[in-house]
Amino acid sequence: MKSNKRICVIVPVFNEGKVIRNTLSELLSTPYELIVVDDASKDDTYLKIKDLAIHYLRHEINLGQGAALQTGMGYAVLLNADVVIHFDADGQHRIADLPSLLEPILEGKADVVLGSRFMNGTPGEIPLVRKVLLQHARWINGLLTGLWLSDAHNGLRALNRTAFSKIQLKENGMAHATEILIEVRKHKLKFMEIPVEILYSTYSQSKGQSAWNAFNILSDILLRKFFP
């Protein structure tokens, strides 16, 4: 799919020295620009990627993935980007999913496209605890945001300029995934889900959130709901 739109992939990074170069090298094979937001990594992340043709932004203190994505989107506004993609650094997303993620936006059918790992039935390789958690998170998201999706907290998303210039993430932590849905509703953005695959590697699982973090996310969301 060819397009003359300026498309930026935002990759939030925190201590991903082991895999970041692989993830970024793969992304560099696409025609999209890369905005890497280093959330104050303490490992060799910067040394691994400093020779790559990317936009490199660094937070001086660790703020969280939500804050890193917001920084990336703020920068994309200044770059005059037309579309941004949120893409996790740990190698859990597939580049092969990007064209279908972008398609509804480029065709003007949606402002926000969210990846879902459950649209084509439930894939077998999702760890059971995660599967149960995600099903409950869907319900909580639905009740809190009014958007009923087939997946919750999937990191792969695409947003057009209307969406990423309007959406302002205040949740610095992982609760941003729910906050995005709240913002989508608030700004009456058109959204769509498309099926994507998540690669559950040993690395991405060890780097990923533990199941207990679900409680932190829920309390963040509830606190901010009552004390905006």
Partner 1 sequence: MRPIQYILIPLLILLLIFFERRLKKQFLLKFVFVGVMLAALGFTIFPDTSTSIANYLGIGRGVDLIIYMSIIGLTSCCLLLYLRIVKLERQLTELVREKAIDAARGL
Applying CB under 8 A, the residues found at the interface with partner 1 are 37, 55-61, 63, 67, 70-71, 74-75, 78, 170, 172, 223, 227
Nearer to partner 1, 193 or 220 (CB): 220
CB of 149 to partner 1, least distance (A): 27
Output the furthest CA–CA distance in the chain (Å, rounded): 45
CB of 71 to partner 1, least distance (A): 5
Q: Which residues contact 85 (CB under 8 A, 6 or more apart)?
A: 7, 8, 9, 10, 32, 98, 101, 102, 156, 157, 158, 159
Nearer to partner 1, 58 or 190 (CB): 58
Element (H, E) at 57: strand 55-58
CB of 146 to partner 1, least distance (A): 24
Distances (CA, A) of 173 to 63, 66, 140, 176, 228: 7, 5, 17, 6, 16
Q: Which residues contact 150 (CB under 8 A, 6 or more apart)?
A: 116, 118, 119, 138, 193
CB of 119 to partner 1, least distance (A): 33
Nearer to partner 1, 47 or 79 (CB): 79
Nearer to partner 1, 116 or 172 (CB): 172
Nearer to partner 1, 75 or 203 (CB): 75
CB of 179 to partner 1, least distance (A): 13
Q: Which residues contact 143 (CB under 8 A, 6 or more apart)?
A: none
Sheet containing 55-58, strands listed edge to edge, beginning at the edge strand earlier in sequence? 55-58, 33-38, 7-13, 83-86, 157-160, 112-116, 191-195
